Structure 1
Amino acid sequence: MAQCKYASTKQTTNAARLSRVVIDVFTDLFREILKLHITEIQFPFVLQEKRDKLCAILNKNQKEYLYPVKDLFTGTYKEFDLSLLYILIRNVSGIPSHQHGWGKTPKPRDRSVSANIDRVREIRNKNCGHSGSASLDDGDFHRLWQELRFIIGEIEAALKLTTYTDAINFLENETMDPEQQEMYLSIIDDQQVTISDVKGTQDILMKEQKRQNQEIEKQGEKLCRLERQSKKANNEQRKKPTCVVFLI
């Protein structure tokens, strides 16, 4: 009876299949996006240039991995998971943010690369993972799969890439056994913590930056008022009649 409770269903297979396309196809796609903007030869030097910015965002394991104590980073992009790739694309690739800004829900008509990257992040966060209770009905599955297929097509067209549309088409009906399902759901669950932590940290940093910018703006306005007051006082002083005393 207990086994029946946890047996695979069409709904759990749908959730696992969606997780698989995110882990396999979109992770490879994100690697290629990063490589198009920063080659693996350039990457260690970009890491050093962006060290302060990244170290404020990365978790402990990511920092230790990207910033060895006594050497430059010597790994490859093949070792990066989706969460780390998202951090790097967002913060060091130079890809412009979409109209609402990185980490926020894009406008429906904004089909830029960054907007589509954030759409993948949102689909992944809302619909993948939760290995103990994963479930996705056929209607939601096909709607999300079509959206992901469309996103892949747009990114491929924008960056002149190929093969990823073929990959998602293949995985739509590829057989998945219970062990595969559990593996993909577990992987996506582990990544969820990292992505949530990153989003929280970046939101805090953005709020602090906004606060600092507002404070700088207030100080600038105060200085402008003082300058106008000083200029007005000087003008009024110059307009006063001058008293001339003649000595006889």
Structure 2
Amino acid sequence: MVIDEVKTVDAKLCSRVRKFISLNLNMITSYLSQNLQYGLAVQCPPPQGVSDDSEVGFSPMFDIWFAEEGHAQDAPITPEHMNHARICVVFVTVCGTAMREVLRTQVPAPHTDIYQAILANKGKLTSRPGKPLLKQNQINLVFPQGQTIGTLDQFDISLLYILIRNVSAVKPPVNNRWGDEPLDQPRDTSLWASVERIQSFRNHIIHSSDGKISRQVLEDYWTKFEAVIRDIEKVIGGQMCSQELERQKRQVISVYEAC
């Protein structure tokens, strides 16, 4: 948290770190229990020669930690911030699981499993002429030991989207391409359309400019998530994703009802 060799403390950075910690603690406590509370404090080490149980005054860092309070760049966390945090959790967990199941089950012939298919396409993914499909950090995840395949659970939605698009048996319908917007009227319920919708959700949610969404927008996302999960499960079977989505939805509703 210092900005030069003489250890000048960056007050704005301290404030942002505290804000980040508070946002995540609020999100965690809202899921664990509506009665769970916490407080913010700074533990200051005692000066040399002073025992740990002695009363020690706050260091200057304590004041800087709470610097900029009330300013625009350190505005208090609002319910809209929490809505954005909640929808991010749901998206990463539920939609991420759905994408993994799509990739896991849609194995192209003649391969026996998706890991074999990914390995067979290693050259296409890592050394395509001009520009590889995967970035170096993604290559390290997919091929951690060169000729072995990483675990799907470690792959985020962006990486899963690339693999589904280039390795799996999922193909766009006639007159459609990867990257197109799927039809809603009449609704395209193909796996391709579901994958494209999830990728579109990611772009809108992750790149939100202010990290805030209203309750109305939150509920709209619930409806969209439910529809795309239903479309996927109709094709690949199972109810694991829809059940987890419903569980998380009940948690969020209980938080709202308690407020």
Q: State yes or no: 1:52 paired with 2:123.
A: yes
TM-score w.r.t. length of structure 1: 0.62
Query: Residues 176-191 of structure 1 correspond to what in structure 2 (within 5 A)?
Result: none
Percentage of pairs with the same residue: 25
What RMSD in Å do the two structures reach over aligned CA positions? 2.7
TM-score normalized by the length of structure 2: 0.59
**Partner AA of 1:51 in structure 2:** K
Q: Residue deviations 1:221-244, cap 9 Å, x none?
A: xxxxxxxxxxxxxxxxxxxxxxxx
Instruction: Give the Cα separation in 1 of the matches to 2:141 and 2:220.
Output: 37
Of 189, 194, 199 in structure 2, the residue corresponding to residue 111 of structure 1 is: 189
User: Which residue in the other structure is 1:29 paired with?
Assistant: 98
Pairing 1:1-248 to 2, within 5 Å after superposition: 2=69, 5-38=74-107, 42-55=113-126, 56-67=132-143, 71-98=146-173, 99-108=175-184, 109-130=187-208, 133-174=210-251
Q: Distance in 1 between matches of 2:206 and 2:150?
A: 28
Larger relative helix fraction? 1
C-alpha contact 2:164 2:170 (8 A) present in aligned 1? yes
Post-superposition offset of 1:165: 1.2
* Partner SS for 1:97: coil
* Runs (5+) with no aligned partner, structure 2: 1-67, 127-131, 254-259
What are structure 1's unaligned runs of at least 5 residues? Answer: 177-248
Structure with the bigger RCO (C-alpha within 8 Å, sep 6+) is 1
Cα deviation, residue 96, structure 1? 1.4
Q: How many residues align?
A: 174
Q: Which residue of structure 2 lines up, in the alignment, with residue 188 of structure 1?
A: none
Indicate the structure (1 or 2) with the bigger Cα radius of gyration: 1
Q: Give 1:89 shift.
A: 0.9
Contact 1:17-1:172 within 8 A present in 2 as well: no
Say whether the 8 Å CA contact 1:96–1:114 is kept in structure 2: yes
In structure 2, give the amino acid aligned to 1:66: V
